[in-house]
C-alpha cells in the first residue's frame, strides 16, 4: 500500500490516533517522523504521552526542520511513514528565522518527497485558523502559513481527513479505515 | 426513540437549535439539563435567549457539576434529555478545582449514563480547539479537556453532528432530521 | 446559471479561490464585490494578493457597508457576483458603530438581495468561532454576529461549502464544481 493520507482537525480531535491506526494497518515497518522538540516540560509531557500511545514496531526519527530529506530517507526502508506534525514544523521554521517564501518552498519539497515515497505516508496537521483573528502579527503569519502548507499537503494527498471529536470525516477521497 | 446524538460546532453554528428540533421530534416529555450558571449579566442574557427559544413541553433542570446523576434521574421520566453544554460543564469542573483525571472519570460516568438512559439523549458541545494555541496555560488545559471529553461523547453516540453556519453535517451515523 | 452558493472555512482554507473558480465557470461578466478597506499595509497587501489571483473578466466594486444595495445593482449587469467577505463586512459595521439589531437587519436585506438576484451569487465568509472564547467582549460580540450572519447566508443559499485545507466539502446541496 502506497496510499498518501493527510489528517487535520482541531486540538485533541483524534488526528494522531487515526494516523497511527492507518500506519498500523499499512505494514510492520513503521517510521514515526517527529517534528516536535522538547523545549519545555509541557512539550516533553505531550511527547511522552504520544510515544506511549504508539505500540511496538515503530522506529522514531526526530527532525525539526529538514522533513523532506528525512521523510525521503525513512521511506526507503519502511512500509509507512507517519509525519506528526506540520504545524510544529512550521513553528520550528519560524523559530529558525526562515521567511515565508523559504518555508513554502520547503513545503513544496516535502509534498514532492511524499509523492515520490515508495511507501504509504500519513501526514498530520492542525486546524489553527477557525478562531478569532489573533492580535499578534506573528500568530497571524503562523496561521496564514499553516493554511497555505495544509493546502499543499491536501493537494498531493489521495485522501484528506478532518477529525471531529475523534471521528474521521473524508473531505477528499474515501476513508482507508 | 432511544437514539443518542452528539452535536458539536463553533460558536453560533446552530448546535442548540438542532438539538432542540431533535428533542421536539423525540416526544412530548422533554428535559433540558442546563450546565450553565448565571454568574454575570452576559451569561444571564445568553441563558434567557436560549430559554426563550425553547417552546412548551420542556422541564428545565440546572446542574453545573453532577451531570451523570442528574441525567440518569431525568431520563427515567422523559422521552428525551437535552444536555447543553459539555464545554460549560468542563468550565464548571475547572472552577471547582477538579483535576484532569477526575474530570475525565466524570466524563466516563456521563457517557455510561447516556448509554444506559431509557430515552433519547442529545448532548451539545463546542469546538474550541481550531484556533491559535492560546498563550494561557489554563486555556490550553481547557481545550485539551474539551477535545478529550468530546471524543468520549462521540464514541458513545449513535450519531455525531457537526454544525456549520446552522447546517447539520453527520460525521458519524446519519442525520435524524 | 442563477445558483447561489455560500463558502466558509478557516483562514487560508481556499474559500476565495473556490468561489473564484465557481464564478469563472458561471459566465464571462463577473462582478467582484469587495468589502475590504485598505486601512493599513497588511490589509493592502492581502487585497493586492487577492486581486492578482483573479484573472481577466472581473469588474471590482468596493463597498464596505451597503452590500445589499451594491449587490443588487451589480447583479443586473453580471452573470455572477462574488461577495468577499462577510466577516470583513461585519467588522466594517462594528467600526461604523451599528448595533447588533441593525447589523442583523442589514444581513436579512443582503439575504433578500441574493435571493432576488437574477444571476449566480457566491458569498464568502470565515469560520471564526471554533477557537477558545476570547477574553475581549468586542471579539465575543463579533464572533456571535459572524455566526448569526453566516446562518442567514447559509439558509438562503442553494449550496453551503466548508473549505478544509483547500478542499471543498458540501454541507448543504452538492458541489457545483
| Predicted pLDDT at A46 | 76
Q: Of these residues, A21, A29, A50, A141, which one is catalytic?
A: A50
Contact B151 A132 (CB under 8 A): no
- Give the list of residues 6+ apart from residue A95 with CB closer than 8 angstroms, or none: none
Is pLDDT larger for residue C50 or for residue B126? B126
- Of B13, B125, B124, B122, give the one whose Cα is nearest residue B78: B122
As annotated, the binding site of A for GTP includes 9-16, 34-36, 62, 84
Contact C150 B143 (CB under 8 A): no
Please say whether the structural domain B4-172 has been given the CATH code 3.40.190.10: no
Which grid coordinates are listed for B36?
A: 450553565
Reported as a pLDDT band with limits 50, 70 and 90, residue C17 is: very high
| Predicted pLDDT at C39 | 75
Model-level ipTM above the cut of 0.90: yes
CA-CA-CA-CA torsion sign (B76, B60, B71, B111) = positive
Give chain A's end-to-end CA distance (angstroms, integer).
13
Asked if B126 and B150 count as a contact pair (C-beta separation under 8 A), the reply is no
Reported as a pLDDT band with limits 50, 70 and 90, residue A1 is: low
- The rounded distance, in Å, linking the Cα atoms of C20 and C18 is 5
Residue-wise pLDDT for A87-146, tens only, equals 999 999 999 999 999 999 999 999 999 999 999 999 999 999 999 999 999 999 999 999
Q: What is the pLDDT along chain B (177 residues), one digit of tens a residue?
A: 579 999 999 999 999 999 999 999 999 999 999 998 777 887 788 777 777 777 778 999 999 999 999 999 999 999 999 999 999 999 999 999 999 999 999 999 999 999 999 999 999 999 999 999 999 999 999 999 999 999 999 999 999 999 999 999 999 999 998
- The rounded distance, in Å, linking the Cα atoms of C5 and C163 is 13
- Side by side, which strands form the sheet with B80-84? B58-62, B30-34, B80-84, B120-124, B4-9, B159-164, B167-172
* Architecture in CATH for domain C4-11+21-164: 3-Layer(aba) Sandwich (3.40)
Contact A134 B132 (CB under 8 A): yes
DSSP assigned state of A130: S
Count of other CB atoms within 10 angstroms of residue C128: 28
Give how far C41 is from chain B: nearest CA, Å.
Answer: 23
Partner-chain residue, chosen from A14, A143, A169, that has the shortest CB–CB distance to B151: A14
Does a cis peptide bond (omega within 30 degrees of 0) precede residue C85?
A: yes
- The rounded distance, in Å, linking the Cα atoms of B117 and B111 is 10
A50 part of the active site: yes
CA A136 to chain centre: 25
Give chain B's end-to-end CA distance (angstroms, integer).
13
- Give the list of residues 6+ apart from residue A137 with CB closer than 8 angstroms, or none: C42
Q: Following DSSP, what letter does each residue of C52-94 receive, concatenated?
A: HHS-SSEEEEE-SS-HHHHHHHHHTT-SEEEEE-HHHHHHHHH
Residue-wise pLDDT for C22-42, tens only, equals 999 999 999 999 998 777 887
User: Average model confidence (pLDDT) for chain A?
Assistant: 94
- Give the list of residues 6+ apart from residue C20 with CB closer than 8 angstroms, or none: C53, C54, C82
Q: Following DSSP, what letter does each residue of C122-168 receive, concatenated?
A: EEE----SSSPPPSSHHHHHHHHHHHHHHHHHHHH-SEEEEEETTEE
| Predicted pLDDT at B36 | 87
Contact A130 C10 (CB under 8 A): yes
| Predicted pLDDT at C88 | 96
Partner-chain residue, chosen from A11, A139, A165, that has the shortest CB–CB distance to B6: A165
Share of chain C above pLDDT 70, in %: 99
- Give the list of residues 6+ apart from residue A104 with CB closer than 8 angstroms, or none: A145, A148, A149, A152
Contact B127 C132 (CB under 8 A): no
- pLDDT > 90? residue C126: yes
Q: Of these residues, C3, C21, C29, C50, which one is catalytic?
A: C50
Domain residue limits, chain C: 4-11+21-164
| Predicted pLDDT at C1 | 52
Residue-wise pLDDT for A11-42, tens only, equals 999 999 999 999 999 999 999 999 987 778 87
Asked if C7 and C158 count as a contact pair (C-beta separation under 8 A), the reply is no
- Of C155, C58, C156, C142, give the one whose Cα is nearest residue C103: C142
Mean pLDDT of C132-156: 96
CB proximity A11 to B under 8 Å: yes
- The rounded distance, in Å, linking the Cα atoms of C103 and C125 is 15
Partner-chain residue, chosen from C130, C151, C171, that has the shortest CB–CB distance to B127: C130
Helix axis angle, C100-116 to C86-95, nearest 10°: 140
User: Average model confidence (pLDDT) for chain C?
Assistant: 94
- pLDDT > 90? residue A172: yes
- pLDDT > 80? residue C46: no
Amino acid at each position: 500500500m502506497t496510499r498518501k493520507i493527510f489528517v487535520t482537525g482541531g486540538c485533541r480531535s483524534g488526528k494522531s490516533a487515526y494516523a497511527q491506526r492507518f500506519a498500523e494497518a499499512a505494514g510492520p515497518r513503521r517510521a514515526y517522523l517527529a517534528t516536535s522538540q522538547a523545549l519545555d516540560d509541557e512539550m516533553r509531557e505531550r511527547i511522552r504521552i504520544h510515544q506511549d500511545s504508539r505500540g511496538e514496531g515503530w522506529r522514531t526519527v526526530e527532525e525539526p526542520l529538514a522533513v523532506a530529506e528525512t521523510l525521503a530517507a525513512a521511506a526507503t526502508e519502511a512500509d509507512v511513514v507517519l509525519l506528526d506534525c506540520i504545524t510544529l514544523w512550521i513553528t520550528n521554521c519560524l523559530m529558525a528565522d526562515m521567511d515565508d517564501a523559504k518555508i513554502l518552498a520547503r513545503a513544496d519539497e516535502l509534498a514532492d518527497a511524499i509523492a515520490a515515497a515508495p511507501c504509504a505516508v500519513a501526514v498530520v496537521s492542525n486546524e489553527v485558523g477557525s478562531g478569532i483573528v489573533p492580535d499578534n502579527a506573528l500568530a497571524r503569519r503562523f496561521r496564514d502559513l499553516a493554511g497555505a502548507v495544509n493546502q499543499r499537503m491536501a493537494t498531493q494527498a489521495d485522501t484528506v481527513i478532518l477529525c471531529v471529536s475523534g471521528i474521521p470525516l473524508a473531505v477528499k477521497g474515501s476513508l482507508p479505515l
